[in-house]
Chain A
């Protein structure tokens, strides 16, 4: 067997891939999505709270946000997942009555994501011109209403690309919960690929898992570019009739 065939068999053994695909799609995909979407939503909510604290006039609130962010941005994701997933598991078992590591996995991912998302939101909110808050307050809105109705929506819009990038990173980091030890039905995409690889001694299942990640992340990456573009140039505006007429007029002159 020559080298090329050997490589092809190692990475692209269709038979091994075909065997793992049902589990990847039926078990891995939903589990990865549960982890990523749940911690994405919760992380965004917590992140928004951290951002509001980060720009608060209350120095105590600013400090709490600062310290939180420094800690959870400064630690490797895998360490946070292990510490929380293992350290809190007795408490979680007491509360939920189950050994399912997902609640703690989601908690750990949420805590990490919130630190990044909080900084993203804060930078967006702070980039909104001071005049916006002033105009809103001059109309009679309270600080809170002004933030909610005027400043925060604009700030979030500006950082949507960075936010989607964060979601992509979260989707990939969700693979790390495999460290917590998952029952067969709880395995996410990576773990299923990894197990199949270990069982067969062939890398192809892991390649299949990789392809599935790409199917999820690549469209998101392009979605970022799309909204980034849209935000830069604005919604395609319906042209006024005379604006449309102008180029035609020019053409007629030439």
Chain B
């Protein structure tokens, strides 16, 4: 896979409003390369929006985004997103394409690989997520867990420097969650830089290097998982943890 030489990602004082709705109110988030940052918090706290702002699917109103210490706000956003893979709650595989075509599409059109080369790389990625045998299937004929693993392969195929996971297991049946979490754990252990928005407190506690707790568009608390889960400082975090644990 990639050599993880880069990928330190920093969001600084990020603000975003939709009309009167101030969704992000000055968020700071820092992920050191090769580490995993998880973002937890109640629904509607702005976690998913934060991911979309950090890869500029949504442009922030204010603040800065740094990749390897350099601001990327002036870059072409499409090129930035080629460097940041993203996995969605609803998988969002392309239903009109086969599994292998889902993975190879960006390789062919953006990386400009030949059809055969792109296919070979896509099959390799599918093999890594254990789904090479489903290469010619349509996404609709896969289980949710398999679809999500294909979506991960699709993102990884672009050799991103950072991977975003937006509640990647929330839409899965309970028995399928494990396989996807195991894959994410392998990636994290393999040195991928990851930002993981999750409701899986076990993953957040055991796999991530830092945990950020968001509520109502602000970072309430952040730190290493031991501190966040064992010694929360704020009432809000204590309340959240007692609700979810």
Beta-carbon contact of B82 and A134 below 8 Å: no
Q: Answer whether residue A10 sits at the interface, using C-beta atoms and an 8 A cutoff.
A: no
Residues of B within 8 A of A134 (CB): 52, 57, 88, 92
The verdict on A141 contacting B138 (CB below 8 Å), with A150-B94, A154-B95 known, is no
Beta-carbon contact of A137 and B81 below 8 Å: yes
Q: Answer whether residue A225 sits at the interface, using C-beta atoms and an 8 A cutoff.
A: no
Beta-carbon contact of B95 and A140 below 8 Å: no
Residues of B within 8 A of A129 (CB): 90, 92
How near does chain A come to B160, taking the closest CB pair, in angstroms? 9
Residues of B within 8 A of A66 (CB): none
How near does chain B come to A159, taking the closest CB pair, in angstroms? 14
Q: Using a CB-CB cutoff of 8 Å, which residues 87-107 of chain B contact chain A?
A: 88, 90, 92-96, 105-106
How near does chain B come to A62, taking the closest CB pair, in angstroms? 20
The verdict on A139 contacting B94 (CB below 8 Å), with A145-B109, A234-B140 known, is no
- Of B55, B86, B95, B105, the residue contacting A149 (CB under 8 A) is B105
Beta-carbon contact of B110 and A131 below 8 Å: no
The verdict on A142 contacting B141 (CB below 8 Å), with A132-B94, A134-B88, A135-B88 known, is no
Q: Answer whether residue A153 sits at the interface, using C-beta atoms and an 8 A cutoff.
A: yes
Q: Using a CB-CB cutoff of 8 Å, which residues 26-83 of chain B contact chain A?
A: 52, 55, 57, 78-79, 81-82
Residues of B within 8 A of A149 (CB): 105, 109
Beta-carbon contact of B106 and A140 below 8 Å: yes
Residues of B within 8 A of A131 (CB): 88, 90, 92
How near does chain A come to B135, taking the closest CB pair, in angstroms? 14
Residues of B within 8 A of A172 (CB): none
Beta-carbon contact of B141 and A140 below 8 Å: no
Tally B residues with Cβ within 8 Å of A: 28
Beta-carbon contact of A141 and B106 below 8 Å: yes
How near does chain A come to B152, taking the closest CB pair, in angstroms? 12
Beta-carbon contact of A141 and B109 below 8 Å: yes
Complex Cα–Cα for A154 and B105 (A): 15
Residues of B within 8 A of A73 (CB): none
Residues of A within 8 A of B155 (CB): 138-139
Complex Cα–Cα for A136 and B154 (A): 11
Residues of A within 8 A of B16 (CB): none
Q: Answer whether residue B9 sits at the interface, using C-beta atoms and an 8 A cutoff.
A: no
The verdict on A141 contacting B92 (CB below 8 Å), with A149-B109, A234-B140 known, is no
Residues of A within 8 A of B55 (CB): 138
- Of B78, B105, B154, the residue contacting A142 (CB under 8 A) is B78
Beta-carbon contact of A137 and B57 below 8 Å: yes
Beta-carbon contact of A139 and B96 below 8 Å: no
Complex Cα–Cα for A145 and B105 (A): 11
Q: Answer whether residue B184 sits at the interface, using C-beta atoms and an 8 A cutoff.
A: no
Smallest CB-CB separation from A130: which chain B residue? B92
Complex Cα–Cα for A117 and B81 (A): 34
Q: Answer whether residue A237 sits at the interface, using C-beta atoms and an 8 A cutoff.
A: yes
Complex Cα–Cα for A149 and B57 (A): 18
Q: Using a CB-CB cutoff of 8 Å, which residues 113-150 of chain A contact chain B?
A: 129, 131-132, 134-142, 145, 149-150
Interface residues of A (CB under 8 A from B): 129, 131-132, 134-142, 145, 149-150, 153-154, 157, 234, 237
Interface residues of B (CB under 8 A from A): 52, 55, 57, 78-79, 81-82, 84-86, 88, 90, 92-96, 105-106, 109-110, 138, 140-141, 151, 154-155, 158
16 other contacts beyond A129-B90, A149-B105, with CB at 8 A cut-off? A131-B88, A131-B92, A134-B52, A134-B92, A135-B92, A135-B94, A137-B81, A138-B84, A139-B106, A139-B158, A140-B82, A141-B106, A141-B110, A153-B96, A154-B94, A154-B96
